[in-house]
């Protein structure tokens, strides 16, 4: 006896788990939809080093469908041959595009973007990626001079075009004092400093400027002593 075959696909689905033949409640059942309708998902999470969410999660999906035929007598799912079709991507889309990491004020990401995933198929695994953010450092003014009035710390500004980078930070101007970077280079008034590591603080050392009147007085004293 030739078995009756029924095509099943997303546009003509059957209720999974229900009897193929209503008069036989204990007979073969309609198959689960994953036999003819599959979705591959992408999830990108943006978190800090403690796992706390710092930006909205990115999600994407690619859908694949096909037509199978079901043997009404045995419940067998037939995936090839007459009446069946191969898996086809919805709208021909088989790619997760590259995703640029969002800029999070006060933090930098461990990667500028999540790479694209190409040539997806119905058997591809879900894609789960995590981008981790770390707090940026600051310029930290310091001086051994007992009269140093102090200056505010300056948090490194985020680079608006790259979540992994910061831009040069403005060096605080303190009247009567000269700023120096960690290598001892003089930082002129109104200058900026680009840190080598955006997550580490940079100590800016201030030394008191010599007063002209005091220099003249000291030179006279020295000159007197030399006579």
- The whole model's pTM is what? 0.84
Say yes or no to pLDDT of 181 above 50. Answer: yes
| Residue 31 pLDDT greater than 70, yes or no | yes
* pLDDT per position as a tens digit, 4-26: 999 999 999 999 999 999 999 99
The answer, yes or no, to whether residue 148 has pLDDT greater than 90, is yes
Q: Confidence class of residue 211 from pLDDT cuts 50, 70 and 90?
A: confident
Beta-bridge partners for 7: 69
For residue 107, is pLDDT > 80?
Answer: yes
Using an 8 Å Cβ cutoff, are 111 and 101 in contact?
A: yes
| Chain center to CA of 83 | 45
pLDDT for 222 equals 40
Question: How many angstroms separate the CA atoms of 33 and 35, rounded?
Answer: 5
pLDDT more than 70, % of the chain: 93
C-alpha 182/C-alpha 141 separation (Å) is 11
3-class secondary structure, 24 = coil
């Amino acid at each position: 006896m030739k078995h009756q075959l029924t095509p099943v696909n997303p546009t003509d689905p059957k209720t999974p788990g229900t009897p193929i033949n209503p008069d036989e409640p204990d007979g073969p059942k309609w198959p689960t939809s994953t036999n003819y309708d599959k979705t591959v998902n992408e999830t990108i999470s943006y978190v800090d080093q403690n796992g706390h969410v710092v930006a909205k999660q990115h999600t994407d999906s690619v859908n694949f469908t096909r037509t199978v035929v079901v043997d009404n007598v045995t419940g067998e799912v037939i995936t090839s041959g007459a009446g069946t079709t191969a898996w086809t991507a919805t709208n021909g889309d088989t790619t997760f595009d590259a995703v640029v990491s969002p800029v999070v004020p006060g933090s930098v990401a461990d990667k500028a973007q999540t790479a694209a995933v190409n040539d997806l198929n119905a058997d591809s695994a879900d894609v789960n990626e995590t981008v981790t953010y770390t707090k940026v450092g600051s310029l930290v003014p310091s001086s051994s001079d007992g009269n140093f009035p102090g200056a505010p710390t300056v948090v490194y500004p985020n680079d608006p075009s790259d979540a992994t980078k910061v831009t040069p930070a403005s060096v605080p101007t303190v009247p009567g004092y000269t700023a120096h970077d960690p290598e001892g280079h003089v930082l002129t008034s109104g200058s900026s400093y680009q840190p080598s590591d955006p997550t580490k603080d940079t100590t800016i050392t201030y030394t008191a400027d010599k007063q002209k009147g005091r220099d003249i007085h000291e030179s006279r004293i020295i000159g007197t002593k030399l006579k």
